[in-house]
Amino acid sequence: YMIGGTLGTVWEILFNLMKLNRFVECSGSIFTAFNPVYGCGALVIVCGLKKFRRPWQVFTVGTFAGGAIEYFLSYCEEVILGTRSWNYKGWFLSINGRTTVPIMIFWGILCMLVVFCVYKPLDKAFNALPEKTFKIIGWCCFALVCIDMFITVSAMFRYVARHDGIQPLTDFGRWLDATFDNAFMRRKFPSMRIQ
């Protein structure tokens, strides 16, 4: 999740530099560089595709699974948070603006790179670590991701609630409003639109 999310953030920043000729914040989280879409995608890629031996198998399954995950996450964001962070309407072969066939092909290529160039070498390195060390590192990383996602999603809920004129009911909500105000949220999540 962390490696995939970080690589996804770097990819999005480079993509926006080429497309818009400017830096755009693309991490999708408050504290870390782990873009949740790419992080979740990396988890699904590794868990679902590591058993495949042939690149064409990884590409084919990755193309359809990547598109399905991107579509699903876009839908969940809109339904749960009332926001939308990407919209491919008007793009070539767009699927309800949530993904496109060319983006799905990109996911297939990315899956091949992740499985054969990232996962397999890292798996060997991780297997060389003592089991106790590996578990400690794993639990620490898991805690970091959970804290980051809890704060990020909470700040997003408050951002939408402020937009709807809903006042915070708890000290935590007031802290979120003071710490992650509208200006911060617009800067940190520039492509997120409240529906």
Give the tens place of pLDDT for each residue, 64-123.
988 888 898 888 888 887 877 778 888 888 887 888 999 899 889 988 888 888 888 888
pLDDT band at 42 (very low <50, low <70, confident <90, very high): confident
State yes or no: pLDDT of 179 exceeds 70.
yes
pLDDT at 9: 85
Tokens of 30: 């408050």
Q: For residues 73 and 85, what is the distance between their CA atoms, to the nearest angstrom?
A: 10
Entry pTM: 0.69
The mean pLDDT value of the chain amounts to: 86
Percent of the chain surpassing pLDDT 70:
99
pLDDT at 195: 66
pLDDT at 79: 85
Q: Please give the average per-residue pLDDT across 18-45, as a whole number.
A: 82
Q: For residues 42 and 114, what is the distance between their CA atoms, to the nearest angstrom?
A: 7
* Neighbour count for residue 89 (Cβ, 10 Å): 9
